[in-house]
Amino acid sequence: MSTPPLTAPLAALPPVGLAELIDRAALQTRVDRKYVVPLGELPQLLRQLTSYAQVLEIDGERSFRYESVYFDTPWLASYHCAAYRRRRRFKVRTRSYLDSAQCWLRVKISGARDSITKHRLPYDPRDRATVRPGRDFVDEALVREAVCPPAGSDLDPVLVTSYRRATLLLPGTASRVTIDTGLSWQDGDTSLQLPGLAVVETKTSYAASPADRMLWQRGLRPARISKYATGLAALRPGLPDSPWRRTLRRHFRAPESVGTAPTSTTHRSVQEASCV
């Protein structure tokens, strides 16, 4: 079942099947814009998009549970490339679609002018916490894109994220919108949850979509947020976090209790962050 505030607005949208969505808006090379949106604002946004959008529907469901496992070198080469805004950056993860028991190994390359290229391989869900069966695929993708971690580097599981996603197709612009709610991060024994927050991501060729313009009209602007890097920075406060500092301060820090000192993520095994 989808998050309650979204059930009715999603039900009002016309459906689109997975095959048609992929055919019309695969966008493996694209520009992504991410927005941090309070959960309560989503119903109105979806109502505004009724004339423009279709919603992905599979077996009668319109939102789906996701889990991603992110991999990095022991010295966090992927993370630090993002933290220091290297021109060519890489991200390696498995993504599991928990409702259908499907899994993919993905390599994401960030290039010039915010362009994104993705490579993916069908993966055994039982191997989602290791990159070993797909290491040749990962290395080939990184070499092809001229983005390589140091030779012989291990890629170990670093962070697990989970959320519920609804996906919209905007046929007029061949663009997509994803809406992620119920966000949580797990780093070993430490976790972070954002119960009142959604991450809305628009995926276009280059031009802004109707969803982007509607978000701008509501005073919302693209935010620097990465489910991997921002989540890891929130859970490991000692890491460099300059690209996401504003987002971290506004959305990822636990609220302080009246009469108590601020509580660091390192002192709480589970926390809920505000979405002020």
pLDDT 10s digits, 200-259: 999 887 778 899 999 999 999 999 999 999 999 999 999 999 999 999 998 886 543 333
Q: Residue 36 pLDDT > 60, yes or no?
A: yes
Name residues whose C-beta falls within 8 Å of residue 156's C-beta, 6 or more positions apart in sequence. 71, 72, 73, 74
CA distance 125 to 95: 9
How does residue 174 score in pLDDT terms, banded at 50, 70 and 90? confident
- Residue closest to 64 by CA, chosen among 131, 120, 10, 113: 10
Q: Give the per-residue pLDDT at 234.
A: 96
CA distance 114 to 91: 14
pLDDT, tens only, 185-203: 999 999 999 989 999 999 8
Q: Does the residue 167 lie in any domain? A: yes
Q: Does the residue 173 lie in any domain? A: yes
Cα–Cα distances in Å, from 29 out to 108, 111, 113, 168?
A: 10, 10, 12, 18
pLDDT, tens only, 38-57: 999 999 999 999 999 999 99
Q: Give the per-residue pLDDT at 3.
A: 52
Residues 145-162: what's their mean pLDDT?
83
Mean pLDDT of the chain: 85
CA distance 236 to 185: 12
Q: Does the residue 259 lie in any domain? A: no
Burial 67-92 (b: 16+ CB within 10 A, else e): bbbbbbbeebbbbbbbbeeeeebbbb
Q: Does the residue 260 lie in any domain? A: no
- Positive or negative CA dihedral for 49, 53, 56, 57? positive
Query: Which helix (H) or strand (E) is 26 found in, with range?
Result: none
CA distance 116 to 228: 16
Q: What is the DSSP letter of 166?
A: E
Q: Give the per-residue pLDDT at 25.
A: 72
Q: Residue 276 pLDDT > 50, yes or no?
A: no
CA distance 129 to 69: 6
Residues 89-110: what's their mean pLDDT?
94
Range(s) of the domain holding residue 73:
4-254+265-272
Q: What percent of the chain has pLDDT over 70?
A: 84
Look up the CATH number of the domain holding residue 101.
2.40.320.10
CA dihedral 38, 44, 50, 54 (to 10 degrees): 20
Q: Residue 163 pLDDT > 90, yes or no?
A: yes
Q: Give the per-residue pLDDT at 151.
A: 58
- Residue closest to 127 by CA, chosen among 158, 147, 157, 90: 157
Q: Total structural domains in the chain?
A: 1
Q: Give the per-residue pLDDT at 167.
A: 96
pTM: 0.84
Q: Are 123 and 104 in contact (CB under 8 A)?
A: yes
pLDDT, tens only, 220-231: 999 999 999 999
pLDDT, tens only, 23-33: 877 655 467 89
CA R_g for the chain: 18
